[in-house]
Amino acid sequence: MDIAIIGASGYAGGDLIRLLLTHKEADIVCATSRKLAGTPVTKDHIHLKNLIDLEYSNPDIEKIDADFAFLAVPHTAAMQYAGKLKECGIKTVDFSADYRLPREIYEKTYGVKHSDYFKAPYGIPELHRKDVKNADFVANPGCFPTGATLAAAPVAKLAHTIIYDSKSGVSGAGDSISETTHFPNVAENILPYKITAHRHLPEMRQEAAFLESKANVYFTPHLLPAIRGIITTAHILFNEPMELEMIQKLYQDFYKNEHFVRLQPAKLGGVRGSNFCDINFELENDGTRLVAVSAIDNLVKGAAGQAVQNMNIMCGFDEAEGLRMPGMFP
Ligand SMILES: NC(=O)C1=CN([C@@H]2O[C@H](COP(=O)(O)OP(=O)(O)OC[C@H]3O[C@@H](n4cnc5c(N)ncnc54)[C@H](OP(=O)(O)O)[C@@H]3O)[C@@H](O)[C@H]2O)C=CC1
Ligand SMILES: CC(=O)N[C@@H](CCC(=O)OP(=O)(O)O)C(=O)O
């Protein structure tokens, strides 16, 4: 299947190429970058040298001859291309936030007018597999909402409050340099940011509602002195005391057929480079608070890997195709 990657020079686009190179059905025929058009993909993605022979091109959608596309461009840029890809009949997974939320909530959260809105399934396959399967355009979720939602999903319905406390590696901010991501500001530090009002909170609330949870949902992200990975500690508060056995059964049942969710200690070293989400939990002595911890690689289960998982579902391929790489430890 011929594949186009719009925004292939970024971190998420680069990781997508890495994964697709091992995919039996995928043949990357187009990789765009406006800044690097006309130069080899391996000029900046030097880790891919001898593995891909392709030059960057400009994102001229009308000229793209592909069966499937990934939009790995920033939010507000994706909406410039999404409709055209639809018109050309090219199935697409969008990495950006442009189609993850209802229009009004998107516009309020991102402070922009949406210029080409349509509804798309929210691509956490473990929750929305049926909708993804029938879609020709899927909104890949944010990295924080993926790890957070998976941590709480089996018990969200029972909670009155869920507090997500997440820590992310710096690659989550993309490849542009800013004061926040400057080495001396990140190293030997854990930096809380957008402490009560991060743009991913509406996605987390949307998914809690989908899970029939009436819980109040809160979120605080932190920047970690790491390159990849997100650890989310979910504090899940119940009205009634819960029994550990029941909680264990809820998690086991919810994830029993899910290859990419593993109930085991959540550590970055267990998931780095892989599409897995590891989850473990402990119940407070009095049974009223569950602390569930999840670990994902923000660029894989939080972006490119989940996008490939969605493509596999949309195209009827084995869901794990191109995603069989284990985590990198140590
Ligand atoms: N980094 C992460 O962990 C995650 C990222 N995402 C999402 O994935 C997308 C890409 O993120 P990331 O790789 O980190 O970002 P980067 O900034 O690293 O890369 C952005 C890519 O998009 C291209 N681009 C930027 N603006 C435009 C435009 N207007 N038109 C066409 N191409 C454009 C850039 O190339 P050029 O400017 O040369 O055209 C580059 O290839 C974003 O929507 C992000 O929110 C989602 C989950 C996790
Ligand atoms: C560490 C860091 O800066 N993370 C980014 C989110 C990562 C991400 O890519 O989310 P989207 O797909 O919604 O852009 C942030 O906090 O905005």
Question: pLDDT tens digits for 242-286?
Answer: 999 999 999 999 999 999 999 999 999 999 999 999 999 999 999
Q: Give long-range contacts, CB 8 A cutoff, 24+ apart: 76-80.
A: 76/110, 76/112, 77/7, 79/114, 79/115, 79/116, 79/117, 80/115, 80/116
User: Of 30, 88, 143, 315, which residue is the catalytic one?
Assistant: 143
User: Among 14, 19, 1, which residue's Cα sits nearest to residue 308?
Assistant: 19
Q: Where are the beta strands (DSSP E) in 95-205?
A: 137-139, 159-168, 191-192
Q: Give catalytic status of residue 143 as yes or no.
A: yes
- Mutate which of 165, 168, 177, 201 for ligand 2? The one with the most ligand atoms within 8 Å of its CB, which is 168
Q: What are phi and psi of 3, to 5 degrees?
A: -125, 135
List, for residues 177-221, the tens digit of each pLDDT value: 899 999 999 999 999 999 999 999 999 999 999 999 999 999 999
Determine the pLDDT at residue 105: 98
β-strand partners of 162? 217, 236
143 lines ligand 2 (CB under 6 A): yes
Q: What ligand has the least distance to the C-alpha of 201?
A: 2
List, for residues 71-84, the tens digit of each pLDDT value: 999 999 999 999 99
- Mutate which of 200, 222, 296 for ligand 2? The one with the most ligand atoms within 8 Å of its CB, which is 200
By the 8 A CB rule, do 125 and 323 touch?
no
Q: What is the mean pLDDT of residues 151-168?
A: 98
List, for residues 122-139, the tens digit of each pLDDT value: 999 999 999 999 999 999
Q: Where are the beta strands (DSSP E) in the chain?
A: 2-6, 27-32, 56-57, 68-71, 91-94, 137-139, 159-168, 191-192, 216-223, 230-238, 261-263, 277-283, 289-296
Determine the pLDDT at residue 42: 98
- What CATH fold (topology level) applies to the domain 2-120? Rossmann fold (3.40.50)
Distance CA 173, CA 180 (A): 10
Determine the pLDDT at residue 216: 98
HSE at residue 316, side-chain half, CA atoms within 13 A, is 1
Can you give the length of the chain in residues? 330
Determine the pLDDT at residue 93: 98
Per-residue pLDDT for 176 more than 90? Answer: no
Distance CA 273, CA 260 (A): 13
Two domains, one topology: 2-120 and 144-298:
no
For residue 129, what is the enclosing H or E element? helix 125-133
List, for residues 97-127, the tens digit of each pLDDT value: 999 999 999 999 999 999 999 999 999 999 9
The domain covering 144-298 belongs, at the CATH homologous superfamily level, to Dihydrodipicolinate Reductase; domain 2 (3.30.360.10)
> What strands lie across the sheet with 68-71, from one edge to the other?
56-57, 27-32, 2-6, 68-71, 91-94, 137-139
Domain boundaries, the chain: 2-120, 144-298
Amino acid symbol at 64: I
By the 8 A CB rule, do 156 and 242 touch?
no
Ligand 2 centroid to Cα of residue 184, in Å, is: 20
The model's confidence at residue 168, banded by pLDDT at 50, 70 and 90, is very high
Determine the pLDDT at residue 177: 86
Indicate the average pLDDT of the chain. 97
| CB contact set of 292 (below 8 Å; sequence gap of 6+) | 151, 152, 155, 233, 234, 236, 279, 280, 281
204 lines ligand 2 (CB under 6 A): no
